[in-house]
Structure 1
Amino acid sequence: MRLQQGGILVRVSAFVVILKALIFSDSALLQTSSELFSTSSELIHTSSELICTSSELICTSSEVISKKSRLVTQALGRR
């Protein structure tokens, strides 16, 4: 009878160890998921800033082209 109880105790102990390992693993995965979500949020924010910067550069380029066009028109008008 004691041998059988000892076997049950070993199985329960092994089950508890496995359960703890799974809980730790789930906790680590949750932490990793949280970090990935944070990184994704930062990338989205950076992408948004890049889009705004690109838009500003397009506007600036458009203004430069417009000014050059006026200068060319003025130069041609003087001839």
Structure 2
Amino acid sequence: ISDEEKKAEKPLPLEARIRFERPKPDGEFITVQLDENPAKTVKIGANLTQRIQEALIRCLKANAGVFATTPGEMPGIDPAVA
């Protein structure tokens, strides 16, 4: 988008800014610790089959480095916020 296009953009009128409810988790969950840090956890559905649970946990642990658990781990976040 060019500077001219940015300047030409008009904000949406207030009535167009629809508030919506965030989705709410449904069902029971299992907390999975991703690595040796006890704060680095995720929740997965407890209703998954054992095979799916095990595969999902392996995948999550193998990719634990992509999850940020603190603002300091998020690129672009002001360190003062962390």
Same fold (TM over 0.5): no
Indicate the structure (1 or 2) with the bigger Cα radius of gyration: 1
Alignment TM-score, normalising by the size of structure 2: 0.21
Alignment TM-score, normalising by the size of structure 1: 0.22
Whichever structure has more helix as a proportion of its residues is 1
